[in-house]
Amino acid sequence: MPDIDISLPMTATGKRFTADDYVEVTVHFKCNLKCVHCMIEGTMDWLRPESNDQLARILAQNARERRWKGLTLTGSEVTLRHDLPDLARAARSHGFEHVRIQTHGTRLADQEYCHELVDAGIDEYFVSVTAADAATHDAITGVRGSFDKTVRGLENLDALECVVTLTNTVITERSYRQLPLVVERLGHLRRLAQMEFWTYWPMRETDDKDLIASHLEVLPYLREAIAAAKGCGRSVEVKNFPECLLGDDRDALDNDQPKLVIDPEFWPEFMRNGFHQCVHRSYCASRRCLGLNTAYVNKYGWHADVLVPLATER
Amino acid sequence: MEPIKTRAANAFKMSLEAGELVIEFGNVVGPGQTPGPAAVAVTDRVILPLDTGRRLAYSLEDCLKPHAAALRAEEAKALPPSEAAVAARSGQAPVRPSPEAAGERAAELLRMVGDLGIPYQYERSFRICRQALLANRFLLTVDAGNIPGNPGERTLEICDRLHMPGAAREAAAANFAMAKCVHFGFEADDDSIICKLYLERAVPGEEAQRARARGEPVLLHLAFKWDLVKDAAVTTRYLWRPGLSAAEIEARLAYVYRDGARASCVLALAALDLTRGRAAAEQLQYLEVEEAENGRRSFDLNLYDAKLQVKDMQRLLHRMREHFGVRPGQMQALYDQIKTKALGHLAGGVHRNGEDFFNVYYGVLGLHRRQ
């Protein structure tokens, strides 16, 4: 196990970051990978990124009100924006204590670029790692060599002071068996503070790409990954997985999201997922579970044979 | 004639003065810079007859039609996601699978019992049988004496809402006076939704002793069960054999399994064995179950006094899973959710469909009416 160098304290429930502290702004809708599980794949060409004026308004608001501690620049692949360092500098000058980017991380393989971003004030990097090995990752991203670059990027960041990294691994039929291996593969990173595992949602009512994995099949791999990541001293967040099924790992479920500033046309697409469906929905005591979604139910049914409603909220 | 001047405006005010429409155009001064109402510098004032105003309204509406989606989207920016989704594309509701009838029925039963406004107990269970695990089952228990108003009528009102068949209703009404406790049961799988009403007797001590002395059972529960999907109903009698020793329970289990299912008998005996050293066998409530309409022959052994948790029977559950050919992941997913719950009772034997089965009840919980 590495000597973890993460100064951020964890709460009693194992959290390092609070969604309410952050605002996410979608500033770019272009990407140079072709991840099969991309949730905005079909919308990237028509969703409109927030304008510089809109971003300026958010920065001004934060300068006045100190509403958020952190700004997350997101969309598709924000490192494709040439003015990314400028955006970060502007955010810092408007009172944001942290600037985070959501990225697939391939450009971070360039050490100089990492320095440029860090110098501009980007101190948190939320990096997508889709699998544990190059063959699987590259097959998912559709770009050969992307895994090596992403890992190199994380390693580059690991060498820099005042940097915190987070990873996200989307749970799909093509990745779930590798979840514990992802934790193992990234085990050497000292600045990796949090690992997130997001269960795939297809943004429609059917799983046209056959990517949704059965929760029951995913469960042992996911729990092993959670345990391994916690064992490395990292905090863990699981998204969109039934709370009841997580058993003793229920605390890892965190479906909270920062305020997301995005083209409103995104939301009708998002709502097609149809979350919060469950046979026990009306009497289960869980308040943070997203239940099942339409495509999941259409593919695997209601799982009434195993889901047990929570009688009391923890 | 003066040449037409083009002037931009981003604000207007409309009013009716002396039967004419007055529209003032202007620009907001210092937009968004300071809190409080914005000031507007008026640049033009136009007066229109009402009829012209009406035609203007129609024209404006036509002009804006192609931009309606963009305008809705802009307005939606201030809304939370769920409302923004509706606002941005009005008239388009998300497509969802059909509502799960079993879930709706279960919720209805829970709500109706909660609405009695009295304490109740909630106990879940699962059935394991050949290649199947069925976890959507529960019991709700109330003291008959606590039911407000006329307890029998209130109980049957709940059953009526769950479409209890007439014959079962008549029998339940005729026998309600025996009830010390009332249990409402629910179970559902892919093919059936079964609702149940159990009337539990308070067996006098003398009657129990007499039965013990004679080696005879006493009626403890009379249950009415009806299937909302298959339009079928049964009456089930739960017969208590008070004060049996461990050896006597073993003998009774052998009798229940007399026509086969030897492996299940071994599993039932293993469950009994778990209680050794934790509770005297005589304290465990051993029941046998029969239904006149079919060949059901089963037992129900109350294990609560042994103060076991579900995880204490993990190995036994593993053997059950193997015996019935249930997928490991399915069993594990259920087990992980309930392993720390108190182990309640174990039922098993030959079910009404002739199938070998076990039911495991766990984690009884005292609840009060939801506020």
Label each residue of B81-110 as H, E or C.
Answer: HHHHHHHHCCCCCCCCCCCCHHHHHHHHHH
Cβ B162 vs Cβ B105: under 8 Å: yes
C-alpha B349, offset from chain centre: 27
Whether A83 has its CB under 8 Å from any CB of chain B: the answer is: no
- Residue B103 has its nearest CB partner, among A246, A279, A312, at A279
Which residues in B lie closer than 8 A to residue A220 (C-beta atoms)?
329, 332
Please state whether B54 falls in left (phi above 0), alpha (psi between -120 and 50) or beta.
alpha
ipTM, two decimals, is: 0.78
- Residue B85 has its nearest CB partner, among A271, A304, A308, at A271
Cβ A264–B333 below 8 Å, yes or no? no
pLDDT for B35: 54
Cβ A283–B133 below 8 Å, yes or no? no
Identify the closest residue of chain A to B83 by CA–CA distance. A267
Please state whether A203 falls in left (phi above 0), alpha (psi between -120 and 50) or beta.
left
Cβ B95–A274 below 8 Å, yes or no? yes
Q: How many CB atoms lie within 10 A of CB B249?
A: 21
Q: How many CB atoms lie within 10 A of CB A199?
A: 21
Cβ B333–A245 below 8 Å, yes or no? yes
Closest CA to A290 of A239, A252, A247, A215: A239
Burial environment of residue B338 by CB neighbours within 10 A (0 to 12, 13 to 18, 19 or more) = buried
Which residues in B lie closer than 8 A to residue A245 (C-beta atoms)?
333, 336-337
Which residues in B lie closer than 8 A to residue A280 (C-beta atoms)?
103, 106
Helix (H), strand (E) counts: chain B: 11, 13
pLDDT for B58: 75
Backbone angles phi, psi at A129, to 5 degrees: -120, 110
Q: Which amino acid makes up residue B100?
A: E
- Residue B337 has its nearest CB partner, among A220, A278, A308, at A308
Cβ A40 vs Cβ A266: under 8 Å: yes
Which residues in A lie closer than 8 A to residue B363 (C-beta atoms)?
311
Q: Which stretches in chain B have pLDDT values below 50? A: 33, 370-371
Q: Which one of A205, A226, A267 makes the best mutation probe of the B interface by having the most chain B beta carbons within 10 Å?
A: A267
Which residues in B lie closer than 8 A to residue A219 (C-beta atoms)?
329, 332-333, 336
Distance from CA of A48 to the nearest CA of B (A): 11
Question: Side-chain half-sphere of A44: how many Cα atoms within 13 Å?
Answer: 18
Cβ A294–B102 below 8 Å, yes or no? no
Burial environment of residue A148 by CB neighbours within 10 A (0 to 12, 13 to 18, 19 or more) = middle
Distance from CA of B68 to the nearest CA of A (A): 13
Question: What is the DSSP annotation of A66-112?
Answer: ---SEEEEEES-GGG-TTHHHHHHHHHHTT-SEEEEEE--GGGGSHH
Identify the closest residue of chain B to A218 by CA–CA distance. B329
Identify the closest residue of chain A to B74 by CA–CA distance. A264
Q: How many CB atoms lie within 10 A of CB B191?
A: 8
Cβ B131 vs Cβ B221: under 8 Å: no
pLDDT for A103: 98
Distance from CA of A282 to the nearest CA of B (A): 6
Mean pLDDT by 10 residues, chain A (314 residues): 66 82 94 92 83 95 95 96 97 96 98 98 98 97 97 97 95 97 97 97 92 96 97 95 95 94 89 90 90 94 91 53
Q: How many CB atoms lie within 10 A of CB A176?
A: 24
Scanning A11-65, the segments in alpha helix (DSSP H) are: 52-65
Give the CA radius of gyration of chain B.
Answer: 34
How many whole angstroms separate alpha carbon B278 and alpha carbon A304?
Answer: 33
Cβ A305–B110 below 8 Å, yes or no? no
Q: How many CB atoms lie within 10 A of CB B350?
A: 21
Cβ A304–B88 below 8 Å, yes or no? no
Scanning chain B, the segments in alpha helix (DSSP H) are: 50-64, 68-76, 81-88, 101-114, 151-161, 166-175, 205-214, 246-256, 262-274, 314-324, 328-338
Q: How many Cβ pairs closer than 8 A exist between chain A and B?
A: 124
Nearest 10 degrees: Cα torsion B344, B207, B144, A308: 10
Cβ B107–A282 below 8 Å, yes or no? yes
Distance from CA of A137 to the nearest CA of B (A): 26
Cβ B171 vs Cβ B236: under 8 Å: no
Sheet holding B11-17: strands in order across?
A: B11-17, B20-29, B39-49
How many whole angstroms separate alpha carbon B139 and alpha carbon B126?
Answer: 11
Cβ B88–A268 below 8 Å, yes or no? yes
Identify the closest residue of chain A to B366 by CA–CA distance. A311
Cβ A267 vs Cβ A289: under 8 Å: no
How many whole angstroms separate alpha carbon A91 and alpha carbon A123?
Answer: 12
Closest CA to A94 of A132, A61, A54: A61
Chain A, residues 247-306, CB within 8 A of chain B, namely 247-248, 260, 263-265, 267-268, 270-274, 277-283, 294, 297-298, 302, 304-306
Which residues in B lie closer than 8 A to residue A64 (C-beta atoms)?
none
3-state secondary structure of B323: helix
Which residues in A lie closer than 8 A to residue B365 (C-beta atoms)?
311-312
Per the DSSP assignment, residues forming a β-bridge with B232 are B227
How many whole angstroms separate alpha carbon B199 and alpha carbon B299?
Answer: 18
The first and second tokens of residue A252, run together, are 């890892």
The first and second tokens of residue A61, run together, are 């608001």
Q: Give the position of tokens 């129900």.
A: B300
- Residue B88 has its nearest CB partner, among A216, A219, A264, at A264
How many whole angstroms separate alpha carbon B86 and alpha carbon B102?
Answer: 29
Cβ A216–B74 below 8 Å, yes or no? no
Per the DSSP assignment, residues forming a β-bridge with A100 are A72, A124
Q: Which residues contact B197 (CB under 8 A, 6 or more apart)?
A: B155, B159, B164, B168, B172, B182, B183, B184, B185, B223, B224, B225
